[in-house]
Structure 1
């Protein structure tokens, strides 16, 4: 008897297809071979800005605190001054209120010398000005000794020189405190990077109208409108602790909300 054999169909493997090549890897700052790009020349001032910002964020322990300020009295005083052809901006009042606060709290008017704080005798405020070449901070010297009109005139001259690239080194090097105002660009609030070796920078946002409860002349509650502005203080934690930063903002708000009294400080 012949042996019984069974035949099973052979199972063939599916045809092998070549694996598509992996797309080229691309990393920030390292475009892939397929990408096209154009290098942008970096100006000397951009290099300095990049170096100082990197130094600030990597070596300074930033702390942040914010508050709202009522601009009602400032706006009213601006209108009264305009009648006498005295043109001043809200930012000029902010500069004056900052100087008055630094005079009241001299422990904030310090810089870091590498080992500890150095107390400054003069209140010199740096104001951030955007230019085609980058952000630069011309300095208004001896602000506490200047009136609001002189502050306005000085700030205007320095801003014009900054935008035209005509600032002298002594007009932007140094300073004890910085102010950066982005309110004119519609920014509500932000946190700014400290300008070393200074201890603080004040970031100013735009004003906004809000409804609030108040009392009339007879002591009855009523709804009124307030023009509020948010400010954020970035402080060096080695020099200005949270309590001192809170005290600074509290007195700054009081000075700004009482501009006539502030002018006498």
Structure 2
């Protein structure tokens, strides 16, 4: 395989529960800023419209494609950037924790529905049942959402299907009494991503929002960012700030195949 390096932006935006218009506005601004800084790829957080686990998704979620997805696609196309973004998806009477993948021409080329959802959130989100890998202008891309990648077989399956990069919209939360000085957050993610990369040769880029959870067993917990990217050899490409908005840039190395 030939090596390749792509400039990735991790859009660690504020997501306010239930405030879809404001959240989409911040996502659109992140697209513009990432492209202006030369990023080829932007990863945005999980359920960036209403916030992860927010009951507001029951009434406000849209189909994919739908108006919010179209706004993101149009802005990504105008900016010429590859984008993945987490959205709440309505499909009939079901709500999914979903993510869309948009190529740099603004085409929505794929989506993923979260599989490894926390038990309490299953009362809101229907479980996804499908993995896919998509051909994009930067190579073959797989999508996983947050805790999906805590199941090693999900990442390994995407790699076996030909993924060169896995993009992962996320929402990483901690208890209110978490002390970042005593117990730095995030050790499980470099470990999980690094192991996946070393074993399967696939790079991973994940963006978590900041804000708070509203709803469910984790109501009120802070979501703390710490967005992360790992090279295809398992080494860390970049780690964003704790607990604050951040548009973080890194050069991500991966092994590009002939497909």
**Fold match by TM threshold 0.5:** no
TM-score, reference length from structure 1: 0.28
Please identify the structure whose Cα radius of gyration is greater.
1
The structure with the greater share of residues assigned to strand is 2
The structure with the greater share of residues assigned to helix is 1
TM-score, reference length from structure 2: 0.28
